[in-house]
Amino acid sequence: MDTNILVIGSSGQIGSELVMALRKIYGNNHVFATDIKQPTEEIRKSGPFQILDVLDFNNLLHFLVRFNITEIYNLAAVLSGNAEKIPLQAWDINMRALMNTLEAARESGAKKLFWPSSIAVFGPTTPRRNTPQTTIMEPNTVYGISKLAGERWGEYYNKRYGVDFRSVRYPGLISYKTEPGGGTTDYAVEIFFEAVKKGHYQCFLKENTALPMMFMEDAISNTIKLMQADAKQLSLRSSYNMAGISFDPKQLAAEIRKHIPGFTISFKPDFRQAIAESWPASIDDSVARRDWNMETTYDIGKLTSTMLEKIREKLEKKA
C-alpha cells in the first residue's frame, strides 16, 4: 500500500519545510499539505494543498478516508508567547487540534501520527541543566500545560487503541524560510533578519538566558527519522527530548559579529523572560540518540553562517 501523508499546519515555520522534505521522499502527490492559511509558493506549485481546519472533526475524518491517508503530521498550535495572551482559547485550540487527530487516526485506521511536543513541558521545578528525559514536570504556561497533557493523551491512545503516536519535544527551531510566530525562542530567528537588515537587534530576553535550540534542517531530518523508525526501537510513546545545541542571546550576538563586525544588540526583556526562565537551559537527548539514532549536524557557528547567507540571498531576491 502507498504511503499517503497529511500535513496539518503546512504553512507554518515547520510545516513549510517538512512538506518539501516529505515530497522529496514519498513523491509530490502523496504528501497533502493543509492549513487555514495560504501556503508558500513552493508548496502550492509542487503538490496538493487544501484549506483544512483541524478543529472541524468531520472534515478531517472525511479527508483521511477520501485520500487513504496512512500518516499524519499535526503541527497546528498556538505557541507559548501568544498562548499567554489568550489562555482559554489557546488551551481549547491546542487540545482540540490534538484530540481531533487522535480520534480521526483511530477511526480512519491511519497508521501513524506525529505531533510535536516542546521543551515547554518542563517548568521552574525541573532541573535546568542537561534536563533528563524523565524528571519533574510542572509547566506554568498554558502552552506547556497543553503540551504535557498532549503527551499523556498520545501515549494513552497508543496503549489503549494502538494509534502509532510518535513525538519529540522540540527546542527553539531556527529557520530562514518561514518565520515563527508567537514563541519565546523566536528571538533566535528575528536576530538574524534584523542583523542583516539593520545591523541592530533589540532582544526581548536578557543577555544570559540560555535555551536549547536546533537548526530546522536537523529538526526535519530527525522528525522524519523518528517516523521511519521501526516501532520496536521506540521505548517511549510519550515524547522524546531533542536538542542539539544551547546558547544565550549574548553568545549568538558574538557569533553574528564574526560575520557582521558592526552588529549591536540591546536588551529589553518582556513577559517572555519569565517563560524562558521556567524552561531548561540545556537538554539531555541521549534516549532519542539511543532509540532511533537522533543526530545533529549544525553547531552555533554553522547555523549562524547558514542563516546569514540564506537571509541575504532571500532579501536580494525580493529587492
Residues engaged in binding ligand AKB (CB under 6 A): 79-80, 118-120, 143, 170, 172, 183-185
The least distance separating ligand AKB from the CB of residue 295, rounded to whole angstroms, comes to: 20
Amino acid (one-letter) located at 7: V
To the query of whether residue 143 is one of the catalytic residues in this protein, the response is yes
The least distance separating ligand AKB from the CB of residue 87, rounded to whole angstroms, comes to: 14
Query: 199-202 — which CB contacts under 8 Å span 24+ positions?
Result: 199/260, 199/262, 199/263, 199/264, 200/263, 200/264, 200/265, 200/266, 201/253, 201/263, 201/264, 201/265, 201/266, 202/265, 202/266, 202/267, 202/268
Residue 292: helix, strand or coil by DSSP? Answer: helix
Q: Is 219 or 227 the residue whose CB approaches ligand AKB more closely?
A: 219
Residues contacting 266, CB < 8 A, separation 6+: 200, 201, 202, 203
Q: Is 185 or 209 the residue whose CB approaches ligand AKB more closely?
A: 185
308 close to 195: Cβ distance less than 8 angstroms: yes
The least distance separating ligand AKB from the CB of residue 82, rounded to whole angstroms, comes to: 8
* Residue showing the smallest CB distance to ligand AKB in the complex: 183
Q: Is 46 or 185 the residue whose CB approaches ligand AKB more closely?
A: 185
The least distance separating ligand AKB from the CB of residue 18, rounded to whole angstroms, comes to: 15
What is d(CA 219, CA 247) in angstroms, rounded to the nearest whole number? 17
What is d(CA 117, CA 53) in angstroms, rounded to the nearest whole number? 20
The least distance separating ligand AKB from the CB of residue 4, rounded to whole angstroms, comes to: 28
Active-site entry in 26, 73, 143, 187: 143
Q: Is 4 or 10 the residue whose CB approaches ligand AKB more closely?
A: 10
7 close to 112: Cβ distance less than 8 angstroms: no
What is d(CA 259, CA 303) in angstroms, rounded to the nearest whole number? 12
Q: Is 47 or 139 the residue whose CB approaches ligand AKB more closely?
A: 139
Which residues are known to be catalytic?
A: 143
